[in-house]
Amino acid sequence: MTGMGEDGAHGLGLVKAAGGMTIAQSEESCVVYGMPKAAIERGYAVRVIGLDALANTLQAQCMHDRKVGSKPDPDDSRKAAGVGKN
């Protein structure tokens, strides 16, 4: 049996492995800390922020990506999800 938040933590690990930006919610701003805690303990969360900072963090990242010309690879999400593997 897996612990609380294991499935979400695993998914965040796949996103990180595919090169995606990974953020976990801080313990102080969580009602239930299971998934963020599991993700942070495994090193899957590059950033840990409070819920109140989430929107500004995502907006700043999007603006940065536009400025540097970063474009998402549509195949990355499929790779992370294991789609198309033999």
Domain edges within the chain: 6-70
Q: Which two tokens stand for residue 54?
A: 């989430």
Q: Is 66 helix (H, G, I), strand (E, B) or coil?
A: helix
The pLDDT confidence band at residue 86, using thresholds 50, 70 and 90, is: very low
Indicate the pTM of the whole model.
0.71
As a whole number, mean pLDDT of residues 71-83 equals 52
Half-sphere exposure of 22 (CA within 13 A, CB side): 22
- Whether 72 shows a pLDDT value over 70: the answer reads no
- Whether 85 shows a pLDDT value over 50: the answer reads no
- Whether 1 shows a pLDDT value over 50: the answer reads no
Secondary structure E strands in 1-86? 23-25, 47-49
The pLDDT confidence band at residue 84, using thresholds 50, 70 and 90, is: very low
Q: Which two tokens stand for residue 6?
A: 């294991």
